[in-house]
Amino acid sequence: MLEKLLVAGLAAVKEYVAAHVLTCLVPAFLLAGAMVTFIRRDTILRLLGEQVHKLKSFSLASVASFLVAACSCRVIPVASGLFYGGAGVGVAFIVLWVTPASNILALTYTGSILGGEMALARVAAALVMAFVVGGVMSWAFSGERRELPHQVHDPDTHSGMVDPRHLVLLAFLVLSLLLPNYLVQGGSYGRKVVVWALASGVMALYAWRVVARELIRQWLAETWWFVRIIFPLLLVGVFVVGVVGAVLPEEWVRRLVGGDGLLASFVATLFGAVS
């Protein structure tokens, strides 16, 4: 029995790593590190910080989240990058909530399969719950103080939100994160890898030629920090889900989440939240 559980958990981890690491997690972690390194913290604090009016910061986070086609595992590093870059905890949770629930790609699929009314309902539900979740998390962590990591700036850096050279790098990183999903919606995973490799190659070449070496080192150090903090937790979660899937009787699954009622929706939401 124990061997069966281990095999089920490891199989889930293997499938997850094969399908998510290259085209999902690698660009997401690189983007998270870049956000902490290259975006000026005072700008993030001014637009998305804890002291900003919640209507303004929550609205900005919600609207931006619609444009990022990322699954729930891929958005974790991105939201973490915002948080450690200076954004409020409510803003970070809004990005975690809205991005996988109602990004533009998910809405396109919903509209084409279930109809426009369901897509609009998904948008409305995501926005309402985003403000609820953001408000609750801001209140829950309102008494906590956190130290933000030190930023290294290029001596010739721009005084605005981000140096234009670094803004181009951030754009390349976003493209490497989004293009595999936007361009290869019905193709094989191998095609996604090719698109990601091309976009990442252009990004790496640009960074090597344009960005200061000290900033590149800090960027990679920040990226590695996110990897060693988040990635092991993702693997543990996937392993647990694989084990649960192996031991949970099919009849229980059918009874608990087989319908469209309130209980089925509640159980599915609860299980999704903890997994």
Q: From CA 208, how far away is CA 215, in angstroms rounded?
A: 11
pLDDT number for residue 272: 65
> Which structure tokens are listed for 264?
């089925």
Q: Which of 40, 27, 28, 131 is nearest to 86 (CA)?
A: 40
Q: Domain segments of the chain: what residues? A: 21-139+157-229
pLDDT number for residue 245: 80
pLDDT number for residue 111: 75
Angle at 78 between CA 206 and CA 266, to 5 degrees: 155
Kindly tell me the burial class for residue 209, based on how many C-beta atoms sit within 10 Å of its own C-beta (0-12, 13-18, 19 or more).
Answer: exposed
> Max alpha carbon distance in the chain (Å)?
64
pLDDT number for residue 155: 46
Phi–psi pair at 70, nearest 5 degrees: -135, 140
pLDDT number for residue 275: 55
Low-confidence ranges of the chain (pLDDT < 50): 151, 154-158
Number of CB atoms found within 10 A of residue 194's CB = 16
pTM tops 0.85: no
Q: From CA 61, how far away is CA 44, in angstroms rounded?
A: 11
pLDDT number for residue 103: 74
3-state secondary structure of 60: helix
Q: What is the CA radius of gyration of the chain?
A: 20
pLDDT number for residue 123: 84
3-state secondary structure of 143: coil
pLDDT number for residue 156: 47
